[in-house]
Amino acid sequence: MNTNLKLAWRNLWRNRRRTIIAISSIVFSVLLASWMRSMQEGSYDSMIENSVKFYSGYLQVQDTAFWDERTLDNSFEATSELKQNIEKIEDVTLVSNRIESFALAANHFKSKPALIMGIEPEAEDQITNISKKIKKGEFLKNGDKGAVLGEGLANYLQLNVGDTLVMISQGYHGISASGLFPIIGIITHPNAEFDKRLVYLDIETARDFYSAYDLSTSLVVMTGDHYQVKHLKRAIAKLLPESNRVMTWVDMQPELQQMIESDRGGGLIMLGILYMIIAFGMFSVVIMMVKERSREFGVVHAVGMQKHKLSIIMFFETIFIGLIGCTIGLAISYMFCYYFYLNPIPLSEEMAQATEQYGMEPYMFFSLKSSLFYSQMILVFIISVFISIFPIYNISRLKITKAMRS
């Protein structure tokens, strides 16, 4: 076996140009497949991140009835002990209280239903970066008694910074809720619907308005990326009483997950077509190698080397080429995608405008998830092993006289 391995290795480098061409075809194949998958998954990561950071967060702890019937009566007391225990879970980066409800927002002449978000301003800003969307005035600070409005809502009600917002609603357990709130800021929310009806209040101000003291409708839990949510859901669920549950972004936004899965299916079809092109390209290189060496095979067989031994050596040569090509391809692919991960590709002007309308950044993002690169390397290597059947088959049908004349 050692002799066969040595012969195969030396045969590779007797004709360096031929070997380098074969290795290069595999390197390019791994690079192309990895680049395509990294770009595809990077776009999904960006879509999910933008979506969860605009509103839902990666996970939410709620009363079991709140998601189906979103009223203050289905709120719960999020104790400091529960919040601290969740924060201690590995991969949890932030936990923030929210209280959400509705109210009739009005000025002297107009009124409109509004979504009221009672938030912990500093924590919420870490989740949504909403302070960067301030168009006029400033964002909330802890303890503020004023309100921040979406620009669409402010324009409809003809209100500006310094004006007073009137709100009327129904509080906790049917208590009448009404209040006057000075407007301290106006934001341009990336989501057009939110922009037309969103009002931010400090959470204590919102609790006082709704007479929902110490209550929250949800605890928003953030993590480093969406791949962590499954194990976090299991860990958080162990801490909760029967009256509460934890929901992931997939549970809260199933339509987004369905859209991604549908698009991923189309991407995998395209990837399959790409692999077919890659396989034919690698196959043509192997055919070239075999045809060029027909005379060599004939001479070696004529001097006494058995066909099965010659086939084994050719198989090892193909394996060596596959291993070298895939290893180099993996390294180059990672460095190539890492550059674009740090420097996303900006979209053209029209596509950028369309993307920004959906609240997403106008760039083509890339993913560095390790499995994307390893899977492409393994698949290309399997293709190269499968293609090695051809030279083995060719040697088994070798005719000495014909090979010697080639």
- Closest residue by Cα to residue 137 from 173, 170, 163: 163
Q: Report pLDDT for 303.
A: 64
pLDDT, residue 367, reads: 85
Give residue 167's pLDDT. Answer: 94
Is the pLDDT at 199 greater than 60? The verdict is yes
Provide, rounded to the nearest whole percent, the portion of the chain with pLDDT above 90.
27
According to DSSP, the residues that pair with 104 across neighbouring strands are: 113, 168
pLDDT digits (tens, 9 = 90+) for 141-194: 988 999 999 999 999 999 999 899 999 999 888 888 999 999 999 998 777 778
Does the pLDDT at position 400 exceed 60?
Answer: no
Burial class (CB in 10 A: 0-12, 13-18, 19+), 236: buried
Q: What is the pLDDT of residue 296?
A: 66
> Tokens 């109210």, residue?
103
Least confident interval from 30-39, 270-279, 352-361: 352-361
Quickly list DSSP for 296-309: HHHHHHHTT--HHH
pLDDT tens digits, 248-299:
988 888 888 888 888 888 877 888 887 887 777 777 777 777 776 666 666 6
Q: Is 170 exposed, middle or buried (0-12, 13-18, 19+ CB in 10 A)?
A: middle
- Coarse DSSP helix, strand, coil percentages of the chain, rounded to the nearest 5 percent: 60, 20, 20
Phi/psi-derived region of residue 32, left when phi > 0, alpha when psi is between -120 and 50, beta in every other case: alpha
Q: Which range in 200-209, 285-294, 377-386 is most confidently predicted, on average pLDDT?
A: 200-209
In this prediction, residues 217-227 reach a mean pLDDT of 87
Give the domain ranges of the chain. Answer: 2-51+257-405, 59-223
pTM reported for the whole predicted model: 0.75
pLDDT above 80: residue 122: yes
pLDDT averaged over every residue in the chain: 83
Task: Write down the pLDDT at residue 133.
Answer: 84
- Supply the pLDDT for residue 298: 64
304 in the Ramachandran plot: left (φ > 0), alpha (ψ -120 to 50) or beta?
A: left
Instruction: Give the torsion through C-alpha atoms of 78, 117, 255, 133, to 10 deg.
Output: -130
The mean-pLDDT minimum among 14-23, 179-188, 319-328, 357-366 falls in 357-366
Both tokens of 205, joined, read: 């101000």
Cβ atoms < 10 Å from Cβ of 296:
15
pLDDT tens digits, 45-73 = 887 877 777 778 889 999 999 988 888 99
CA distance 110 to 4: 88
Residue 393 has pLDDT above 80, yes or no: no
d(CA 283, CA 263) in angstroms, rounded, equals 30
pLDDT per residue over 124-145, tens digit each? 888 878 888 889 999 999 889 9
Q: Which residue has the higher pLDDT, 308 or 154?
A: 154
Among 289, 272, 217, 191, smallest CA distance to 70 is for: 217
What pLDDT does residue 247 have? Answer: 92
* Whether residue 310 has pLDDT greater than 80: no
**Of 150, 119, 85, 77, residue with least CA distance to 359:** 150
Residue from 347, 358, 352 nearest 259 by CA? 358
More confident residue, 225 or 207: 207
Sequence-separated (6 or more) residues with CB below 8 Å from residue 193:
none
Q: What does the pLDDT read at residue 397?
A: 65
CA–CA distance, 320 with 381 (Å, rounded to integer): 10
Contact, 373 vs 334, CB < 8 A? yes
